[in-house]
Amino acid sequence: MKSRVLAVVLIFVIASSFFAGCQFKEYPNVPYFKVADTFNADGWKPFVMIQIKEKRIAVVSFDAVNINAKTTLLEADANGEAAKYKVDPAYAVQLRKCAQALIEKQDVTLITFDAQGVPTNIPGVSAAVKDYFDMAKSAIDSGAWSGASFLTAEGATSQEAASFDKDGWKRVIDVYVKGYVAIAVSFDAVNQKGEYRKALNAPADKSWIAQNKLVEEAFIKEQSQFPTFVNLAKDGTTKAIPGVTMNIKDVTDLLITSLL
């Protein structure tokens, strides 16, 4: 009799341990988002988006936006533009597998890595993707993502000026929005030959290109205060961005048209 009772108790303990081990971590029903601070050497800026439904991780996106602000790595792969943007389709597949692994495991800490940052418990993944999981953990630890309240359109937005200026240039801007925040911008200019100023990189344009980059960086950093933070003078210049002395009214006008 005692042995039967002990057996029942043992089965109960084992079963309880099993089901406890099967319990998933619960999360508040809020979105999580994290984007890298800079572009990597290949011109991509990684980001992670996580959506929660019924307290469980339901949707995960491990992706990266291109420096030209026109597409993301996974979009380029899905749209047949992998060659154009030098995307390795095998890497895109592995990113999707990593996202699915997080959905299945429900806990970023359950993913293990070798010394090179390659996951050891996600079959079919040989790329060093630890940074994505670190970003996922940081996103969750940081709490719910609210984004920028004035941005409502997700994805890529392009806008160009109506006419060429006296020097023969027409302003062109590209903005990529994810999580209701601009995660990449490209401010450029095109001439009547269809040549882009940044790509030409003419010696006479070194100052213009350098200042243009400062404007791009300032917008990404201060976008929640746009357009008031630029505080343009009558001649289109601003004292709000150190190192920038050129007229940027054409850029702010296009940004207002595109985003507000």
Res 179: pLDDT:
84
| 14, 24, 105 from 21: Cα distances, Å | 11, 8, 12
> What percentage of the chain exceeds 70 in pLDDT?
89
Res 9: pLDDT:
44
Please name the helix (run of DSSP H) or strand (run of DSSP E) that holds residue 34, with its range, or none.
strand 32-35
Average pLDDT of the segment spanning 122-133: 98
Res 3: pLDDT:
56
Q: Is 7 exposed, middle or buried (0-12, 13-18, 19+ CB in 10 A)?
A: exposed
Under the banding of pLDDT at 50, 70 and 90, the label for residue 16 is: very low
Res 15: pLDDT:
45
Under the banding of pLDDT at 50, 70 and 90, the label for residue 235 is: very high
Res 180: pLDDT:
84
Is the pLDDT reported for residue 44 higher than 60? yes
Average pLDDT of the segment spanning 25-34: 93
| 24, 73, 168 from 211: Cα distances, Å | 50, 28, 19
Q: Is 81 exposed, middle or buried (0-12, 13-18, 19+ CB in 10 A)?
A: middle
Q: What is the dihedral of CA 64, 65, 66, 70, to 10 degrees?
A: 140
In tens, the pLDDT along 174-218 reads 999 998 889 999 999 999 999 999 999 999 999 999 999 999 999
> What percentage of the chain exceeds 90 in pLDDT?
81
**Which is more confidently placed, 233 or 8?**
233
In tens, the pLDDT along 130-165 reads 999 999 999 999 998 876 656 667 899 999 999 999
**Which is more confidently placed, 44 or 16?**
44
Res 219: pLDDT:
94
Res 17: pLDDT:
46
Domains and CATH numbers, the chain: 32-142 (3.90.1010.20), 155-259 (3.90.1010.20)
Res 5: pLDDT:
47
